Amino acid sequence: MSDKTSVISMMVKQHHNLQEQLGSIADILKNDPIDTENIIQLQVLFKKDLNEHIAAESKLFYSELLKEMKQRGQDITKTKQFVDEMGVLAEKVYAFLDKYEEAANISQSPDDFKKEFSQILRALNLRIESEEVGVFAYWMPADF
- For 35-65, what is each residue's pLDDT tens digit? 999 999 999 999 999 999 999 999 989 998 9
Q: What is the model's pLDDT at position 1?
A: 41
Interaxial angle between packed helices 77-99 and 63-71, expressed in degrees from 0 to 180 and rounded to the nearest 10: 170
Question: Looking at the predicted structure, is the pLDDT value of residue 141 above 70?
Answer: no
The answer, yes or no, to whether residue 126 has pLDDT greater than 80, is: yes
pLDDT score at 144 = 44
CA distance 61 to 139: 10
Of 51, 50, 55, 57, the closest CA to residue 79 belongs to: 57
What's this model's pTM, rounded to 2 decimal places? 0.90
Give the containing element (helix H, strand E) for 139. helix 137-139
